[in-house]
Amino acid sequence: MCGISGIVSRKTTSSSEQAIRKMNDAIEHRGPDGEGIFCHQNVALGHRRLAILDLSELGAQPMHWKDLYTIVFNGEVYNYIEIREVLLKEGYAFQSESDTEVILAAYDFWGTDCVTRFNGMWSFALLDKKKNLLFCSRDRFGIKPFYYTLTEEEFRFGSEIKQLVEEAPVINLPVALDFIISGIEEATDETFFKGIVKLTPGHNLTFDLTENTCQIEPFYTLSDQNKEVSDPDSIGSYISLLEQSVQLRMRSDVRVGTCLSGGLDSSTVAALASKNYNYQDKFYAIHAKSEEAATDESAYATLVSDHLNLNLKTVVPGYQDFERDMDEVIYTQEEPFGSPSVFMQHFVFKEARKNNCIVMLDGQGGDETLLGYERYYPALIRSLPWAERPKALLNSKKNSRLSMLEAIKYMLYFGNYKNRLNRVKRRAKFIRPVYLENYTSETLKKVSESYSDIRKMQNMELTRSQLPHLLRYEDKNSMKHSVEARLPFIDYRVVEFALNMKSDAKIHDGWTKYVLRKGMSALLPKEVVWRKNKLGFNAPENLWLEKHAVEMEKAIRKSVILNTIADLSQLDLSQQDKRMRWRMYNLAKWESAYNVQMDN
C-alpha cells in the first residue's frame, strides 16, 4: 500500500524531478517507509512506500523489469502467489517476494489483459519503454484512488487530489449543488475541483507517448456479470467464498487487525479472520464507542470480542476530539462528506496505527451486496410478480424496524424521481432561484429509476450512489494514518456471487442479509447475528453538532461560495435538519481548507 505520482509533459522531451518530488511530498503519510523517483525523457514517476509485503529493499518502487518496464503501484494483488506460480512454470524468475514484481511479469506475459487475473485493489502506472506508452489501471470497484488532470501541457496523476490542486482551485459547481441539495457524493468521475477527475473503476488508461494521446477503456463492468446462482447450498458456497477472501487478505508481513463496530458485517470479518490467525498474540480489533446512548454499539463489540477471544481496543472520541481534529479530517478527505460519522472511522485508524496494526480489515460492502438497508425493500417488492407482492409487504415488517406503512411510503417515494426531486428542492429553498429552479440531478434520476428492479438498484448502489463514497472515506482515513484497509466483502468473486443469488437468500421473512445471518450462526453470538438495529460506527452527531452549532453558523455565514449560491440572510439554520446544516458547514470548511474559488 502506497502513494503514486506521475507527470507526462506533452510539450517538452524532458521531465521535472523537482515537480514530481513536490507531488510525492504531498502524500508522505501514504508511504512513510520509503520514497522513489524515476525520470525518463518526458515521463516522471514518483512513489511513497508503506511496506506490507517483502519489507526489504527488493520491494521498493519505482520497480523496474529488464529495462523494459517501470511501475509505480498502490494497492495489493492478493492472489499474487498463485499468479507467480503460473508464471514460474512459463519460465519467469523473480528477485523479490512482492506482488509488484508479479504485476510486471504478468504484464510482460499477458499484456494489458493481466488486470483481469488480479484479485485485489490497485491503482498503478506502468511505463512500457518498448511500446512507448504509459499503461494505467484502477481496480474493479475503485477501492484505490486514481486522480488525474489532462491539459495541453501535461498529463498528471496521483493517489490524492492535493497532489494536483492549484493554489486557488475553482469549485465544480454542479457537483457542489448535487451535494448540498441532494446529499450526493462520488457519483461520477468528476470531483468538487474543476478540472480534476477520477479514472473510472474497472478501467484502464493508456497514454501513447508517441502520439501524445490518452485512451480510456473498461476491463470490467458489473452489469455484465449477470449469471443467476442456482447452487442448492448457496449459503455454504457464499460463506466459503467469503472465507477465502478473508484468507487472501490476511497475507502480510506486518500485523493485521480488524475494525469492529459490533454490527454483523464487521463481526463476520472478525470471526473469519481470527479463525485463520496463526500467531501467538491475540487478533486485534479496534472499536469506536459513541458517547451517545442511542448510537453506542460497544456492548455488541465486547460480546463479539469475548466470544472470539480478541484483543479489543476501544476508543471513545468526545466533542473535544471532534473539534480538535476537525481541520485535519476536512483536509484529509479532500472533498465534502455527508455526515460526522467519518470522524469515528478516523479515530479507529488512528488507534490502529498506535497499536501497530498496519493492515486493517473492514466490513464495507456487506450491506450493498446483501440488501442490508431497509430502503432495499421497495425495490425488492417492486421486482416481484404482482401476486407475490402482498406477502412480501407483510413480511417486510416481521424482522425489521420497517412498518408496512413505511414500506409503502418507501415504494411511493424512492422509485419516483419527480417526488424525490421536488422534496429535496423544497428542503433547499434557501438556494438562489438561478441555481435551484434549473436544478436537476441525473444521478438522482437514475437511482430512482433503479428502484423498479432489485438488480439494477444494487448495481447503482455499488457503482454510483453508495459504495464509492464509503470507499473514499476508507482510503483517506486509513492512509492518513499510514494504515492499509482491506475489504473482504468487495472481493469481486464474493460480490458477483452475492448479486446473482436469488433475492430470498438476501431478504427472507423480513430478515436482511439472510444468507450471512444463517451462515454465521455457528460462529457468532445470536444477539449479534439476529440483531435488527443497524448502526455501524455512528458518531454522536446530535450531541456534537449541538455543541458545535455556533462554530458551524460562523463558518457558513462566512463562506463566499455559500453566500453566492444561497440567500443566507433569509436562512434560519436552526430550522434546517442536522444533515443539511452539516453539509453546508462541511462545504464551508472545505472551501477554507483548500482556498476554493467560485468560477468567474
Can you tell me the mean pLDDT for 39-51? 96
**pTM of the predicted protein model:** 0.95
Can you tell me the mean pLDDT for 164-176? 95
Active-site residue flag, 2: yes
Task: Report residue 512 CA to chain centroid gap.
Answer: 22
- Contact at 8 Å (CB) between 38 and 70? yes
Can you tell me the mean pLDDT for 555-577? 94
Reduced to 3 states, what is the DSSP secondary structure of residue 287? strand
Can you tell me the mean pLDDT for 220-243? 88
Q: Give the phi and the psi of residue 483 in degrees, each rounded to 5.
A: -125, 140
Q: How far apart are CA 377 and CA 396, in angstroms?
A: 7
Reduced to 3 states, what is the DSSP secondary structure of residue 71? strand
- Contact at 8 Å (CB) between 430 and 567? yes
Cell matching residue 313: 481496543
Supply the CATH number for residue 195's domain.
3.60.20.10
Asked if residue 365 and residue 241 are part of one domain, the reply reads yes
Sign of the four-CA dihedral 55, 58, 60, 63: negative
Cell matching residue 518: 444463517
- Contact at 8 Å (CB) between 537 and 557? no
Distance separating the N- and C-terminal Cα atoms of the chain: 39
Asked if residue 128 and residue 252 are part of one domain, the reply reads no
pLDDT(260) > 80:
yes
Asked if residue 282 and residue 159 are part of one domain, the reply reads no
Closest alpha carbon to 471 in 374, 327, 373, 363: 363
Can you tell me the mean pLDDT for 484-489? 98
Q: Is residue 387 part of a domain?
A: no
Task: Give the pLDDT confidence score for residue 1 in this predicted structure.
Answer: 66
Q: Which of 520, 541, 562 is the last residue of a domain?
A: 541
Q: How far apart are CA 118 and CA 80, in angstroms?
A: 8
Asked if residue 101 and residue 72 are part of one domain, the reply reads yes
Domain count along the chain? 3
**Average pLDDT over the chain, rounded to whole?**
94
- Contact at 8 Å (CB) between 30 and 482? yes
Q: Which of 523, 541, 559 is the last residue of a domain?
A: 541
Q: How far apart are CA 413 and CA 411, in angstroms?
A: 6
- Contact at 8 Å (CB) between 54 and 73? no
Q: Is residue 385 part of a domain?
A: no
pLDDT(398) > 80:
no
Q: Is residue 426 part of a domain?
A: no
Distances (CA, A) of 392 to 215, 244, 328, 371, 395: 47, 33, 46, 14, 5
pLDDT(433) > 80:
yes
Percent of the chain with pLDDT over 90: 81
What are the strands, taking DSSP E only, across 316-406? 359-361
pLDDT(451) > 90:
no
Count each helix (H run) and each strand (E run) in the chain, helices first: 27, 17
Asked if residue 573 and residue 530 are part of one domain, the reply reads no
Can you tell me the mean pLDDT for 239-250? 97
Can you tell me the mean pLDDT for 226-255? 91
Q: Which of 205, 220, 235 is the last residue of a domain?
A: 220
Lowest-confidence region among 45-59, 154-168, 364-378, 475-489: 364-378
Asked if residue 553 and residue 535 are part of one domain, the reply reads no
Cis geometry, peptide bond prior to residue 174 (ω within 30 degrees of 0): no
Q: How far apart are CA 335 and CA 346, in angstroms?
A: 15
H helix runs in 50-135, sequence order? 80-89, 99-110
Task: Give the pLDDT confidence score for residue 357 in this predicted structure.
Answer: 96
Closest alpha carbon to 284 in 264, 316, 309, 253: 309
Residue 70 CB partners (closer than 8 Å, separation 6+): 38, 40, 45, 62, 63, 64, 126, 127, 129
Asked if residue 204 and residue 229 are part of one domain, the reply reads no
Lowest-confidence region among 113-127, 194-208, 412-426, 428-442: 412-426
pLDDT, tens digit (0-9, with 9 covering 90-100), for 264-317: 999 999 999 998 887 778 999 999 999 999 999 999 999 999 999 999 999 999
Confidence of residue 31 (pLDDT cuts 50, 70, 90): very high
Q: Is residue 403 part of a domain?
A: no
154-158, strands of its sheet edge to edge: 34-40, 43-49, 2-9, 154-158, 147-150, 197-198
Task: Give the pLDDT confidence score for residue 412 in this predicted structure.
Answer: 78
Q: How far apart are CA 359 and CA 250, in angstroms?
A: 9
Lowest-confidence region among 28-32, 335-339, 401-405: 401-405
pLDDT(411) > 90:
no
Integer-rounded Cα Rg, in Å, for the chain is 24
Asked if residue 156 and residue 241 are part of one domain, the reply reads no
| Beta strands 203-208 and 133-138, pairing class | antiparallel
Closest alpha carbon to 187 in 425, 435, 413, 467: 467
- Contact at 8 Å (CB) between 122 and 76? yes
The catalytic position among 2, 114, 259, 357 is 2
pLDDT, tens digit (0-9, with 9 covering 90-100), for 310-339: 999 999 999 999 999 999 999 999 999 999
- Render the burial of 366-381: b for 16+ CB within 10 Å, e for the rest: bbbbbbbebebbbbbb
Q: What is the DSSP letter of 375?
A: T
Specify whether the backbone of 334 is left (phi greater than 0), alpha (psi in -120 to 50) or beta. Answer: left
Q: How far apart are CA 358 and CA 356, in angstroms?
A: 6
H/E stretch holding 554 = helix 549-558
| Beta strands 311-315 and 2-9, pairing class | unpaired
Q: How far apart are CA 152 and CA 238, in angstroms?
A: 49
Reduced to 3 states, what is the DSSP secondary structure of residue 133? strand
H/E stretch holding 568 = none
Lowest-confidence region among 268-277, 503-512, 581-590: 503-512
Residue 47 domain boundaries: 2-170+191-220
H/E stretch holding 246 = helix 234-248
Q: Is residue 568 part of a domain?
A: yes
Task: Give the pLDDT confidence score for residue 145 in this predicted structure.
Answer: 98
Task: Give the pLDDT confidence score for residue 352 in this predicted structure.
Answer: 98
- Contact at 8 Å (CB) between 5 and 163? yes
Q: Is residue 377 part of a domain?
A: no
Supply the CATH number for residue 268's domain.
3.40.50.620
Asked if residue 531 and residue 588 are part of one domain, the reply reads no
Can you tell me the mean pLDDT for 51-66? 93
Task: Give the pLDDT confidence score for residue 262 in this predicted structure.
Answer: 95
Distances (CA, A) of 311 to 132, 252, 305, 351: 51, 19, 7, 13
Percent of the chain with pLDDT over 70: 100
Q: Is residue 599 part of a domain?
A: no
Q: Which residue's C-alpha cell is 510539450?
A: 11
pLDDT(455) > 80:
yes
Task: Give the pLDDT confidence score for residue 536 in this predicted structure.
Answer: 65
Can you tell me the mean pLDDT for 401-424? 83
Q: Is residue 207 part of a domain?
A: yes
Lowest-confidence region among 83-97, 449-463, 550-564: 449-463
Cell matching residue 57: 529493499
Which of 167-171, 405-409, 483-487 is most confident?
A: 483-487
Asked if residue 228 and residue 316 are part of one domain, the reply reads yes
Asked if residue 248 and residue 339 are part of one domain, the reply reads yes
Q: How far apart are CA 286 and CA 300, in angstroms?
A: 13
Confidence of residue 116 (pLDDT cuts 50, 70, 90): very high
- Contact at 8 Å (CB) between 339 and 541? yes
Asked if residue 490 and residue 557 are part of one domain, the reply reads no
